[in-house]
């Protein structure tokens, strides 16, 4: 499965900007033509996502959200806050059903 950011990049609302259609199209093209499968990946810390380091025709700075933010400390604080919100939300599913889905959420 692929998670593609088609929303905000480069900072919090009012600082960053929307992902361009050209960038989104480049990412989708790399997925569809298979080049994304052959990319080198880096692990995103808060959510454990594998992020391609580069894709053909796509500015590598926007692939990893932290790289797109000028203020890296603000990114870390925002990512940590969001991960904490996910962890709290996942708590209501702990121990329910046959699979403990909390293991798949952020690890903070």
Return the percentage of the chain with pLDDT > 90, whole number: 65
Closest alpha carbon to 103 in 95, 2, 27, 7: 95
Residues 12 and 76: their CA atoms lie apart, in Å, by 12
pTM (2 decimals)?
0.79
pLDDT tens per residue, range 58-93:
999 999 999 999 999 999 999 999 999 988 988 887
Give the contacts of 54 (CB within 8 A, at least 6 positions apart). Answer: 39, 40, 60, 63
Token pair belonging to 58: 């796509």
């Amino acid at each position: 499965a692929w998670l593609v950011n088609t929303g905000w990049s480069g900072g919090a609302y009012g600082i960053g900007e929307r992902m361009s259609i050209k960038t989104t199209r480049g990412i989708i093209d790399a997925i569809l033509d298979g080049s994304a499968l052959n990319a080198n990946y880096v692990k995103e810390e808060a959510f454990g996502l594998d992020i391609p380091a580069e894709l053909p025709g796509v500015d590598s700075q926007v692939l990893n959200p932290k790289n797109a933010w000028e203020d890296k400390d603000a990114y870390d604080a925002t990512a940590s806050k969001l991960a904490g919100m996910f962890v709290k939300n996942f708590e209501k599913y702990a121990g329910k059903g046959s699979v403990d889905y909390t293991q798949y959420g952020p690890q903070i």
